[in-house]
Amino acid sequence: MTLSENPSSPDPWAPPPEDRPHDPPPFAYPAMVPPAPGQVGNGLGVAALTVGIIGTVLGFLPFLFWLSGILGVLALIFGLVGHSRARKGLATHKRMALAGAVLGGLTMVLAVVGLFLTVMFVKNAVDDARAKIRARHTPTAAPSDPGAQRPLRFGQARKYDDGVTVTVGRPEPYRLDDFAVGHEKGDLAVQWKVTIVNGGKKPIDITSALPSVRDADGASAGNIFDGDGATKPFSGTLLPGKRAVSRFSYSVSPGGAKEVQLEVSPDGRHEDAIWAGPAR
């Protein structure tokens, strides 16, 4: 047997060991970093952002302000709770939760503005309808009725011939919340309670019972709306023997508050009654 045929002998033609190609190292998997203990995804933050976006879109649609307000409250709550959990390290997506809370607050403001615009739209429509009705019908109150000729004082009642009675309470100062609209800086926020009693035999639609207020200078006072019920318009039909109570707030200038005139009718068929007196 020759040297080259001996399998155990080294190959004389083989390159030196340092010149031989090295085998590739085995594949190394990247080390897995375990998540922080107790930290999970921020579902509340995702919900806040989603609900906030939907509420903001609905806030720009007419007559959907009430749904926008509900979604705004939910988005604000979800966002604040989700942001708090993220700050404590219990959840992720802190910025998403904060964005949802901001959208929730914006949606609530849009809901208040939508309420204000809706009431103004309804008031203008009611005024136009009332003018057309009065052109075709004779008012319930006769011209000889003393109550139809002179203003009433706040706290007094106006009783119509068919048994319907309207009472406007004495003015009270109103404390505004942070989302109030319709109030002018420097003015007085004044609220009146209006009570309608149907002592007649027929139902009456009290949706159009929206007071109008003028100050001592003859300027119209603006309605105030907020989230705490500065103004709560009447709605629906008042059946015989029933009563309805609502509150209306207005922005009155300090100089014009010495003598304020409030005018309201229980519906479009009854003549407006007038109350007058100081607003403070």
Q: Is the pTM higher than 0.95?
A: no
When mean pLDDT is compared across 104-113, 158-167, 203-212, 261-270, the lowest value belongs to 104-113
The mean per-residue pLDDT over the stretch 56-75 comes to: 80
Taking CA atoms, 10 is separated from 21, 44, 47, 76, in Å, by 17, 72, 73, 81
When mean pLDDT is compared across 74-83, 102-111, 122-131, the lowest value belongs to 122-131
| Interval 178-228: pLDDT, tens | 778 888 888 999 999 999 999 999 999 999 899 999 998 888 998 998 877
User: What's the confidence (pLDDT) of residue 13?
Assistant: 59
Q: What's the token pair of residue 123?
A: 């008031």
Q: Is residue 147 scored above 50 in pLDDT? A: no
- Per the CB < 8 A criterion, the answer to whether 147 and 94 are in contact is no
The mean per-residue pLDDT over the stretch 242-260 comes to: 93
User: What's the confidence (pLDDT) of residue 95?
Assistant: 84
Across all residues in the chain, what is the average pLDDT? Answer: 79
User: What's the confidence (pLDDT) of residue 33?
Assistant: 46
Q: Is residue 118 scored above 90 in pLDDT? A: no
Q: Is residue 34 scored above 90 in pLDDT? A: no
Which residue is listed with tokens 């304020």? Answer: 260
User: What's the confidence (pLDDT) of residue 197?
Assistant: 96
User: What's the confidence (pLDDT) of residue 198?
Assistant: 95
User: What's the confidence (pLDDT) of residue 99?
Assistant: 86
Nearest residue to 192 (alpha-carbon basis) of 264, 118, 113, 116: 264
Q: Is residue 37 scored above 60 in pLDDT? A: no
- Per the CB < 8 A criterion, the answer to whether 65 and 111 are in contact is yes
More confident residue, 253 or 65: 253
Q: How confident is the model at residue 131 (pLDDT cuts 50, 70, 90)?
A: low
Q: What percent of the chain has pLDDT over 90?
A: 32
